[in-house]
Structure 1
């Protein structure tokens, strides 16, 4: 089972967004981060960040995703999000490659690794 912790960060002044992800496979940890395009709000940044993160993953049998975004976790489980359906559709298409996908919401304090990576990428993008 591959485990992915993902979080996005967004600058409220200019809309610049970034993503941080911690990937764990066979007890080996990999840290990923990237500046994203501007986003309309933090929710959009979270969806964009998850899409980017999934695209970085190697093909492994099963995937467990942890996010501190309640809207993202709920949207994937329901396969629906009123204002973000195009993102949900992209995510669902990407996830069809995995026989088993578990999506879990976790509190922010349990997602600090991904959060710190997102903040680093956001600061770097501002330079």
Structure 2
């Protein structure tokens, strides 16, 4: 099983945003930072999950994914496969498409204080722009 931690961050809401992805797999650690451009904080959180799934599809195909996020909104939307917000729907659809490449995909909400690595990487993504 691959453990994945994601976080999105915005400098302003909306503002310059970044995504962080922290992966534990096979006793190794993988860290990724991505500049996202102008996003709301919630959009950055969705984008971080998409980036994580894209990375895992390329580097860990066919594995079981256990994803962790400190965004209740994103975790709830994925678990329920529903969001009222029209701007989040295409992001949720992209997550569903990417997640379909894995035999099992789990997502769990974690407190912000347990997501420090991904938060650091997301803030780095902001600074990369």
Q: Same fold by TM (over 0.5)?
A: yes
Normalised by the length of structure 1, the TM-score is: 0.92
Alignment of 1:70-89 (within 5 A): 70-83=72-85, 84-89=88-93
Q: Classify the secondary structure of the residue corresponding to 2:4.
A: strand
Equivalent pair of 1:46/1:72 in contact (CA under 8 Å)? yes
Q: Does 1:7 align with 2:30?
A: no
Structure 2: any 5+ residue segments left out of the alignment? none
1:94 positional shift? 0.5
Normalised by the length of structure 2, the TM-score is: 0.91
What is the aligned partner in structure 2 of residue 111 from structure 1?
Answer: 115
Off by >6 Å, runs of 4+ in structure 1: none
Q: Does 1:34 align with 2:34?
A: yes
What is the aligned partner in structure 2 of residue 54 from structure 1?
Answer: 53
Equivalent pair of 2:65/2:102 in contact (CA under 8 Å)? yes
Q: Partners of 1:64 and 1:33 in 2: how far apart?
A: 19
1:52 positional shift? 1.7
CA deviation vs aligned residue, 1:11-68 (integer Å, no higher than 9, x gap): 10761110111011112111111101311x2111111121122111121420000000
Greater displacement, 42-51 / 52-61: 52-61
Equivalent pair of 1:36/1:49 in contact (CA under 8 Å)? no
1:98 positional shift? 0.7
Structure 1: any 5+ residue segments left out of the alignment? none
Q: Classify the secondary structure of the residue corresponding to 1:38.
A: strand
Aligned length: 124
Q: Partners of 1:114 and 1:51 in 2: how far apart?
A: 14
